[in-house]
A and B are shown apart, each in its own frame.
Chain A
Amino acid sequence: MTKTILTVDDSRTMRDMLHLALSEAGFRVVQAVDGLDGLDALDAAQADVIITDINMPRMDGFGFIEGVRANEKHRATPILVLTTESDVAKKQRAREAGATGWIVKPFNPEKLIDAIRRVAA
């Protein structure tokens, strides 16, 4: 069954790149442009995995992750943070918010797929 990935990033370039890498790997991709948009899309998207950026307008990655975890249906949806930030404190904050894993940009498409496989059956 095709898995769905919800990608949340305010950069169109990044959304396009993710879309390219993920759809080529056979995933169905749903896009959101920031945290609020991501929460809106959450239920409809029925994502198996979520990939999100940290720095976004309106609602950043941390807020988004918390929002996802607060949603009953998505407490067990894996959330991977994809960001250029490698700051220790930010990673910790993401983890505490409920992030499953962390990938640093620029991403290698193969590693990205690996990472997804690591969190989704």
Chain B
Amino acid sequence: MDPLAAIKVTFFQECEEQLAELEAGLLAMEGGDHDPEIVNAVFRAVHSIKGGAGAFSLEELVRFSHVFETALDRIRSGAIEADQEAIKLLLRSADVLADHVRAARDGGTVDVGRSQAMAEALAALADGDGAGAAEEEDTGDGFGDFEFQPVAFDMGETVAEPAPSATTFKVRFYPQAALYQKANESGLLLRELTRLGEVSVELDASGLPMLAELNPEDAYLGWTVSVTGEALTETAVREVFEWVDGDCYLDIIKDGADAQPAPGPDVSVDAMGGEVDVLALIRAAQEAEIAPPPAPVLTASVPEPAKQKEQALDAKAQATAREASPQTIRVDLERVDRLIDLVGELVINQAMLAQRVAECGLQRASSVAVGLDDLEHLTREIQDSVMAIRAQPVKSVFQRFPRLVREIAAMTGKEVRLIMDGENTEVDKTVIERLSDPLTHMIRNAIDHGLESPEDRVAAGKPREGVVRLAALHRSGRIVIEISDDGRGINRARVKQIAVDKGLIAPEANLSDEEIDNLIFMAGFSTAATVSDISGRGVGMDVVRRSIQSLGGRINISSRPGQGSTFTLSLPLTLAVLDGMVVTVAGQTLVAPLTAIIESLQPKAADVKSLGPNAHVIAIRDSHVPLIDIGRSLGYRTVTPPPTEGVALLVEGEGGARAALMVDAIQGQRQVVIKSLEANYRPVPGIAAATILGDGRVALILDIDAVMVPKPLSAGVAASTTPSGTDAARPAPTSDLPLAMAG
């Protein structure tokens, strides 16, 4: 890629980061944080965007960010105060800035009216300090030499350039010590002059003291230089000295003009202080103010360097007190994915190798076996490290929500406050990306349907402002994300009625509160009478649940009428590996996630009890848990063997419920690489995913929560056991897969 194009890509990536910083900072300010560092950071974010935008000539973006930056500069310098009103304006401006950035990046357009209005509001805010004058501050201490004037415009103005023939300027240049202190070199300056034309130089060493008194850091020399060039202008000559003006005596006379009077610090008005890039000059011209004629005497204003140093040190102390940001590098995601795939293969290979070696009958203590053990440890470590590479804080998903909430609140006329917790909780990147849509949908739902209007809330004795809370945390080896609102909760009567109307449940079905709440996840369910623009579009909670399930996760809802609802998502930490227990059931090899297994035990006949016509329970210590033949649940067999002949795995599901799963035998524990079933097929009830074992065969990974349910998952057919030519399976009551068959 053309390097400049690559940098442009970088720029837009950086813009996104800056926009995020900007929003975070503004939100902090809105929350009452008065730390000046935050205001500075906010300023820098916009400043940075403007800088880069200028480099790529992104006009609109530069214009808007400039106005924004100006207002922020005023705030950070204390000239104006940032009250809640102002901060709200700044937040909205940040949204518009983001629109500009994206329009610049993707070639779209921005709502011009809104942008214009925002710009005007920002300008008004910036002027609110009553100064009302132009944007740049006037130091007023006579340092007109720093005044910024567009050389391009001044070409004809300052010095009349009579004939474009050879022009000679006589330059008298007497540097002061300060010039050298800033690492300017007379020699280099004089060399610059030689670039302008023919030069003859006269040294004036009359100021040199005796050697003994010579201070090497002081300036004693002066030069008179005659420079002759075609179409040479005074401006060009002066430009050579643009940075040292003020640190030297400089006298430039066109040959033929009257000699200037006695040397004095005569500073010319049109000394430049800046870049000669014309575009930049034009832009800067718009910013700069014309300076009043400078006083002939240079009075140095004391910059209080001591104070500045103090401030710099303070900032440093604060910075180190703050969390030190770790060193990072950017890596192409494809490379990471490839690496993860390779590590996955490595794990499988290592397992296969271990198996083959074991089959060879080598002694456990033989050097080969020991070496293999080491290999396994290493492989595991590599795998952990590689997995960690892809782990990212959920912040990247969460950070778009404040804006979303603002917009939806505005659209629905509700007042909403968003609280976010646990943004630094880390999750595998692949999981994160697929979280965005479901979370967006649920937040929209919460505000649109969950929260009441401000009036209703007040009438109900609640505060006007509704609260939506988004939290992420790790819990028992999984990621848990909660979305809760303090709105009206689920209207159970209505939900039940709708389910009945849509034929999803029987009218006389007796459902618990929780079961009613979870009806909203059923396919074909949608409570919105009108498909609202916000949370409608025919996308229901069933799609959300499917998305979560395809991530290997689970979603639940709990609700309290009048008080609000909470959605709880539970997701695996990483999509890629799992510590599992390999078991045999009805001749099939399955893997049970170790995190769900509490213990394994050999059932004793006395402990196994019947419950009702079909169910069994097993007594474990002082409680009874359901005993489930997963061989039957999965349709591998129709007759359950005696529990005493097998092994029971005591497992615990998401909600804390427990069950004992009957298996024929335990083969061992192994870390397995998770392979998706959905990639090439689709979700299978009772099965979370697949893996490839050491013998190269595919083994299925159990979905513990699904198999824990004591009723059989399906009265239908398993491919291997029933020699049926039918190509339809009766959909299970709990299955949400529409198995529509052709033919």
Contact = CB atoms under 8 A, between A and B. Distances in A.
B14 A13 contact: yes
Given A13-B11, A98-B182, A106 B312 contact: no
Given A11-B14, A14-B52, A97-B308, A77 B47 contact: no
A71 interface: no
B10 A84 contact: no
Contacts of B280: 104-108
Interface string A51-71: 000011111101100110100
Nearest to A58: B319
B183 A75 contact: yes
A25 interface: no
Interface in B1-58: 3-4, 6-7, 10-11, 13-14, 40-41, 43-44, 47-48, 50-52, 54-55, 57
A79 B54 CA distance: 23
Contacts of A117: 188, 192
Contacts of B41: 57
Nearest to A83: B51
A120 B187 CA distance: 10
B276 A36 contact: no
B200 interface: no
Given A58-B315, A100-B184, A10 B48 contact: yes
B251 interface: no
B192 A79 contact: no
Interface in B111-161: 136-139, 143, 146-148
Interface in A83-118: 83-84, 86-89, 91-93, 95-108, 111, 117-118
A16 interface: yes
A86 B277 CA distance: 13
A59 B315 contact: yes
A95 B275 contact: no
A interface SS class: mixed
Instruction: With a 10 A CB-CB cut-off, give which of B44, B51, B188, B305 has the most chain A CB atoms.
Output: B51
B303 interface: yes
A10 B44 CA distance: 9
Interface size class of B (residues with CB under 8 A): 35 or more
A57 B246 CA distance: 30
B659 interface: no
A88 B137 contact: yes
Given A14-B51, A92-B303, A118-B188, A102 B7 contact: no
B136 A62 contact: no
B185 interface: yes
B139 A102 contact: no
A59 B309 CA distance: 11
B240 interface: yes
B146 to A, nearest CB: 5
B273 interface: yes
A11 B319 contact: no
B318 to A, nearest CB: 9
Contacts, number: 176
A59 B246 CA distance: 27
B315 A88 contact: no
B402 interface: no
B181 interface: yes
B contact face: mostly helix, strand, loop, or mixed:
helix
Contacts of A66: 305, 308-309, 312
A88 B143 contact: yes
Contacts of B246: 95
A73 interface: no
A3 interface: no
Contacts of A83: 51
A39 B470 CA distance: 41
A62 B308 contact: yes
Nearest to B309: A66
Contact of B137 (A12, A89, A96, A102): A89
B183 A77 contact: yes
B273 A59 contact: no
B136 A86 contact: yes
Given A20-B3, A57-B41, A92-B143, A63 B312 contact: yes
B274 A104 contact: yes
B177 to A, nearest CB: 12
A121 B137 contact: no
B279 A57 contact: no
B243 interface: yes
Nearest to B301: A92
B70 to A, nearest CB: 11
Contacts of A35: 312
A77 B54 CA distance: 29
Nearest to B181: A98
A121 B41 CA distance: 37
Interface string A1-28: 0000000001111101100100000000
Given A97-B305, A105-B51, A118 B143 contact: no
A78 interface: yes
B7 to A, nearest CB: 4
A16 B14 CA distance: 12
A107 B13 CA distance: 21
Contacts of A97: 303, 305, 308
B275 A88 contact: no
B143 A103 contact: no
B146 A119 contact: no
Interface in B220-276: 240, 242-243, 246, 273-276
B284 interface: yes
A108 B54 contact: no
B402 to A, nearest CB: 22
Interface string B40-80: 11011001101110110100000000000000000000000
B455 to A, nearest CB: 45
A100 B182 contact: yes
B311 interface: yes
B69 to A, nearest CB: 8
A83 B184 CA distance: 19
B316 interface: yes
B82 to A, nearest CB: 18
Nearest to A121: B188
A105 B284 CA distance: 10
A75 B181 contact: yes
Nearest to B324: A58
A105 B55 contact: yes
Contacts of A87: 136-137
B47 A92 contact: no
B316 A11 contact: no
Interface of A: 10-14, 16-17, 20, 35-36, 55-60, 62-63, 66-67, 69, 75-79, 83-84, 86-89, 91-93, 95-108, 111, 117-121
Interface of B: 3-4, 6-7, 10-11, 13-14, 40-41, 43-44, 47-48, 50-52, 54-55, 57, 136-139, 143, 146-148, 180-185, 187-189, 192, 240, 242-243, 246, 273-277, 279-280, 284, 287-288, 291, 301, 303, 305, 308-309, 311-312, 315-316, 319
8 contacts: A13-B10, A17-B7, A84-B50, A93-B303, A97-B303, A106-B54, A117-B192, A121-B188
Given A87-B136, A88-B138, A89-B139, 13 more contacts: A13-B55, A36-B316, A63-B312, A86-B148, A88-B148, A93-B308, A96-B303, A102-B243, A107-B280, A108-B277, A111-B277, A118-B192, A119-B184
